[in-house]
Amino acid sequence: MTKEELMRKAISLSVRNVADGGGPFGAVVARDGEIVSTGVNRVTDEHDPTSHAEVNAIREACRKLGTFDLSGCEIYTSCEPCPMCLGAIYWARLDRMYYGNTKADAAAIGFDDAFIYREMELSPENRRLKSEECLHEEALAAFAAWSLKPDRSEY
């Protein structure tokens, strides 16, 4: 399939998902022009704020391919990803991303993620979400164990 055909699939998923009661977002993970997985926004249906189209497509692709590394794959998403989804795309090591709507288009209909980007620029003590370091020395035990583990899988 061409990139336009794959993008049309992501767009059609987003339109159909609205009709099915979900959010207006769809995504496709493809490799060599073939669809590996698809995903739609199911935040309200699943009562899960992480159930975004891109995350769902990435999760399914990883299950199908038996890996957490989606190098060699591309993602087609009906809208420029939110910060969480963009992070997931980077973590999954997808080779390329194509998107239809922009984040400005999303903001215009009430899906505005600008506040998250602004919050990320602040030090933890200045963020709206109150946070503080707690039991740092005890928490380091897991990092020490990981560092010494000879058979760890880097990711």
Residues involved in catalysis: 54
Phi-psi region at 93: left, alpha or beta (left = phi > 0; alpha = psi -120 to 50): left
Say how many Å lie between the first and final Cα of the chain, rounded: 30
Phi-psi region at 79: left, alpha or beta (left = phi > 0; alpha = psi -120 to 50): beta
Residue 152's CB: how many other CB atoms inside 10 A?
10
